[in-house]
Amino acid sequence: MQREPLEELAKAVRAALEHDERVNLHRSPIHVKVEDELIVLEGEAEDICTKRTAARIAHRVAEGAPVADRVRLIPAERPEKHDEIDGRIRDEVITAFMDEPVFRDHDLFVVEKGERRRLRDLTPEDGEITIAVDHGVVTLEGEVRSLTHRRLAEVLAWWTAGVAQVENRLRVVPPEEENDGELADAIEMVLERDPMIHQDNLIVTVKDHTVRITGSVASSEEKALVLRDLCYIPGVHEIEETIEVRH
């Protein structure tokens, strides 16, 4: 696509973000530009749901033009020593993957100071994952055997405090078609793993990447956690909820 039509689409994306009540550009300074043949979102979002919403708006307005989401989450603090923060994030992501039963049969590697190191010695049955962290950005590379594994891996990284962005480059081998049933299974798996959520009281259905979630939770804080977890899961395009808060 020529640059001029892309510039017009980028203007339309900017206007859509300005007028969408779910995206507050004062609290989430997100910028739109054209780079090569891409419409690029850059800047910072106050939370994961704002980041995902901005990306969905951009894809819808861009009319099929490629969109790159480079928006990071606003850090709780502006660290001066990135190496120390990255080291803590790296250790916590490693622990999350080592402790997760779904990834027990995956070979795990970590990149530190440019060197790739194996974390455990086994013959992988399900695949391998390499973890790298740079300035709060967690990059996951390798192979997993299902879309559910790929989605869960991204959520585990996002759940780590201080993570600004997750680059999920994991490949599903053999390739697997996106489908509503698999996405619903992945959502239930994620909610089951969040110790702050009582997943048994929730019912999830998925149609064309739109998640409908009903049921009840004990507090408004728990409801907010449920909705945040849904935003962490790649493949969730829209959320329709009728969750009741028990008093």
The domain limits of the chain are 3-73, 82-172, 180-245
Regions of the chain where pLDDT drops below 70 = 1-3, 77-81, 124
CATH of domain 180-245: 3.30.1340.30
The alpha carbon of 75 is separated from its chain's Cα centroid by a whole number of angstroms, namely 16
Q: Which helix (H) or strand (E) holds 73?
A: strand 72-73
Find residue 107's DSSP bridge partners: 128
Confidence at residue 123, expressed as pLDDT on a 0 to 100 scale: 74
Confidence at residue 157, expressed as pLDDT on a 0 to 100 scale: 98
pLDDT in tens, 53-93: 999 999 999 988 999 999 999 987 665 667 788 999 999 99
Confidence at residue 64, expressed as pLDDT on a 0 to 100 scale: 86
Confidence at residue 78, expressed as pLDDT on a 0 to 100 scale: 61
Q: Would you call 199 helix, strand, or coil by DSSP? A: helix
| Residue keyed to tokens 């977890």 | 229
Confidence at residue 170, expressed as pLDDT on a 0 to 100 scale: 98
CATH of domain 3-73: 3.30.1340
Same fold, 3-73 and 180-245: yes
pTM score > 0.85 for this model? yes
